[in-house]
Amino acid sequence: MSTAHVLLGLLSGGPRHGYDLKRAHDERLPRAKPLAFGQVYATLGRLERDGFVAEAGQERDGGPDRTSYTITDEGRRHLDTWLSAIEPPAPYVTSELFSKVVVALLAADAGRARDFLVAQRAAHMSRMRELTTAKSAPGASVGDVVAADYSIGHLEADLRWLQTTLARVADLQKEVTS
């Protein structure tokens, strides 16, 4: 996820200061990792440097001055370009799951790889149960449900991979160790 693009999207609704941007991010992307305040302000600094945002003013509400930012025309064009770009499927297998299986076969044996695959399957199943419960929890927003569905879809794909890899461990070991 591009924090810069999310912040530009949030600013497209009008000027906001860093605290408000952090809060809006965490509310609108509830299943995403919460932003740190330092990350928000560092990203705003880069966006300002690149001409995508500009200071909109300062306000003081019983505390330190808060600088509000607004998206510039260049920032809107940059955001539009990003929103129009199709995300290409990953060209390389970079999964840590895959790497652990191969390393287990290199460093230990097929039993170690099988143990890992079985334990990982249990962890994935547990996470799927958590997400399914979260989807049906009272007060779950549509955003919560959509985010959970996205994660569940990825977990289901991983589970299929774990199962087929478990069936192929012996053949994979021969290939990896030869």
| Domain chopping of the chain, boundaries | 3-84, 96-177
Confidence of residue 54 (pLDDT cuts 50, 70, 90): very high
Q: List C-alpha distances in Å: 21 to 12, 83, 137.
A: 11, 19, 27
- Reported as a single tens digit per residue, the pLDDT across 89-142 is 666 655 788 888 888 888 777 888 899 999 999 999 999 999 999 999 998 888
pLDDT at residue number 143: 85
Write down the pTM of the prediction: 0.69
pLDDT at residue number 166: 93
pLDDT at residue number 7: 94
Which class would CATH give 3-84? mainly alpha
